[in-house]
Structure 1
Amino acid sequence: MKTLNKIIGLLTITLLVVSCSSVKVTDSWRQESSKDIKGEQIMVVSVTNNEISRQRFEKDITTALNANGFESFESYAKYPEMNPTKKVSQEDVTKLKQKLQSNGVNLVAISAVKEIKEYTETNTTGSSYGMPMYGYRGYRGFHGYYGGMYMDMGTSTSTTKVKKKYKLETVIYDLSKPKDKELIAVVSTEIDDPQKLTKISKDFSDRITKELMELFPVK
């Protein structure tokens, strides 16, 4: 898979923030036959077992999306009964899809951690090495993502020389499509040694929104 603009008046500020951010887009993809997602309701889901982190990420993502012409809402606010980290059956997922579609929601954007690497840095040489902690899980359908992973955006542990690098995926599903064609976009990102949830969440949201605007340009 190859290749998932802020408000014009704030474009310069946004670019400065992004350029200094530890959030980097590493890859993105859009299904060629997918429709334009602007004008459609998008339910934003952050898959994490930490409710504070979930609400922060979902709120920041929807704020960034809505400020740039998308129509999105937080899953925790509109569907508080949802638990993205709870393993559910195919029957439960089917019921959820039916409920969403009956309310006019076909698009779901899900962000989750795919891999975490721990590495150390030495002040003398500046070198580093990676120690994978979670293997790459590959792409799966809506059922595979919903209730299948969680995102833990904790800060570095152990010593100040030990850091963590997070690889995240934001996937967009179109529930109106056949099951094998639901996945319409993927944005892969990397966050190096996150220290402050509020800044990382906003930077992540800005990067995801900018990439989606490039994948789904206004016609």
Structure 2
Amino acid sequence: MKKIKQLIMLMSIVVIASSCSSIKVVDSWKADEIESLAGAKILVIARSDDMVGRQRFEQEIAERLRAGGVDAMESYKKFPAMKQNQELTEEQIAQRVQIIKNEGYKGVVLTVLKDMSKEIVTSETGGYVSGGYYPSYYGGYYGGFGGYYGRVYSPYGYGYGGTYVPSETRTYTSETYNLETVIYNLDLEPGKQLLGVIAIDITDPKSASKVAPKYADAVAKQLKK
């Protein structure tokens, strides 16, 4: 019985921990001129020092774009030696943009980490009775309200053979990452190149491999609207 209690409590904690991870679109905007990128070659960039994370985000976003008929390419494949997450001078920026344009890329889909915040979260599990619900007792045991009301007492039992799971409080640090995916048309004037912005909050990500597909889905969904 003790092992059953421990298992139930462990499962409750796992469910809460896994449910905390979430992806939410907090803002989205598209210019009417976004159609100007139709048929154009698009370079997908994720600015990160973490090569694994960068590759996964670029892959997932590029795959969603290609699935929609867009000629998209990951920057780590096209420009493997180009570090994307570094401070550049105006001259270096101009040179890099020209390199991208010289390779035939008219559009850029760029994802960056804008901010990260932390908060202390307290959750409570347990405080309920588990188990003890057997089909053969549904009719006779539950009976009418009076019979049930007269013999079932909280918190000691909610059914035949019920086990009370004690309450347990868990405190942990929750982290929220604010990412932005922006779309540019490099052929337009600098002040008119921005064609779209999608801001997404990711709460308690487990890993890039698990978060990137969901993030890419959210981006693709906003672009289709």
Q: Same fold (TM over 0.5)?
A: yes
Residue 122 (structure 1) aligns with = 122
Is contact 1:21-1:203 (8 Å) kept?
no
Residue 67 (structure 2) aligns with = 67
Aligned pair count?
162
CA 1:160–1:54: 2 relative to 1, 3 Å: farther
Larger Rg: 2
Q: In structure 2, what is the Cα distance between the partners aligned to 1:198 and 1:168?
A: 16
- Could you say what secondary structure the match of 1:66 adopts? helix
Structure 1 position 55, deviation (Å): 0.7
Q: In structure 2, what is the Cα distance between the partners aligned to 1:90 and 1:197?
A: 31
Deviation string, structure 1 residues 16-60 (Cα, Å, up to 9, x no partner): xxxx97111111111233434332111111111111111111111
* 1:87-106 mapped onto 2 (5 Å cutoff): 87-106=87-106
Q: In structure 2, what is the Cα distance between the partners aligned to 1:77 and 1:183?
A: 24
Residue 179 (structure 2) aligns with = 168
Is contact 1:24-1:189 (8 Å) kept?
yes
- 2:203 is the counterpart of 1:195: no
Higher helix share: 2
Q: In structure 1, what is the Cα distance between the partners aligned to 2:207 and 2:80?
A: 26
Higher strand share: 2
Residue 11 (structure 1) aligns with = none
Is contact 2:183-2:195 (8 Å) kept?
yes
Give 5+ residue unaligned stretches, structure 1: 1-19, 126-158, 215-219
Q: In structure 1, what is the Cα distance between the partners aligned to 2:63 and 2:21?
A: 18
Q: In structure 1, what is the Cα distance between the partners aligned to 2:186 and 2:21?
A: 33
Residue 189 (structure 2) aligns with = 178
Q: In structure 2, what is the Cα distance between the partners aligned to 1:98 and 1:23?
A: 34
Is contact 1:46-1:111 (8 Å) kept?
yes
TM-score (norm 2): 0.67
**Counterpart of 2:99 in structure 1: which amino acid?**
K
Q: Over the residues paired in the alignment, what is the CA RMSD in angstroms?
A: 2.1
**Counterpart of 2:197 in structure 1: which amino acid?**
V
Structure 1 position 76, deviation (Å): 0.8
Q: In structure 2, what is the Cα distance between the partners aligned to 1:103 and 1:124?
A: 55
Residue 37 (structure 1) aligns with = 37
Q: In structure 1, what is the Cα distance between the partners aligned to 2:59 and 2:124?
A: 41
- Could you say what secondary structure the match of 2:84 adopts? coil
Is contact 2:117-2:177 (8 Å) kept?
yes
Residue 84 (structure 1) aligns with = 84
Give 5+ residue unaligned stretches, structure 2: 1-19, 126-169
**Counterpart of 1:174 in structure 2: which amino acid?**
N
List structure 1 segments (4+ residues) > 4 angstroms apart after TM superposition.
none
Pick which of 46-55 and 94-103 moved more.
94-103
